[in-house]
């Protein structure tokens, strides 16, 4: 099963071939934005992306991103409570 995680893009390079920096629940990660970048990369700063194995696969609106993060945290809680 593959899982994409919402991440907020917080910094970009000069072009879409450079890695961008994203925030995934407080953890900064480098991601490839070439699949979602149309125009200048600077337009992506502050946007949410669905990230899978280091690649931004699609853009999300903030509401969808926050709902997805909440669902993932809830699933994590369920898994942790059943794992003991």
User: DSSP states of 2-54 as a string?
Assistant: ---EEEEEEE--SSTTSEEEEEETTEEEEEE-TTT--S-GGGGTT-EEEEETT
Q: What is the pLDDT of residue 59?
A: 97
Say how many domains are in the chain: 1
- Containing domain of residue 54, as a range? 5-82
> Distance (Å, rounded) from C-alpha 76 to C-alpha 11?
28
Q: What is the pLDDT of residue 75?
A: 85
What pTM does this model have?
A: 0.86
Mean pLDDT, 10 residues at a time, over the chain (84 residues)? 88 92 95 95 97 96 94 81 67
Query: Across-strand partners of 32?
Result: 19, 55
Q: What is the CATH number of the domain that holds 17?
A: 2.30.30.140
């Amino acid at each position: 099963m593959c899982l994409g995680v919402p991440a907020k893009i917080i910094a970009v390079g000069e072009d879409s071939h450079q890695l961008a920096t994203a925030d995934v629940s407080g953890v900064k990660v480098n991601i490839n934005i070439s699949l979602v970048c149309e125009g200048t990369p600077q337009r992506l700063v502050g946007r949410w992306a669905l990230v899978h194995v280091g690649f931004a696969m699609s853009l999300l609106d903030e509401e969808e991103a926050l709902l997805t993060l909440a669902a993932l945290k809830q699933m994590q809680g369920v898994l942790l409570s059943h794992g003991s």
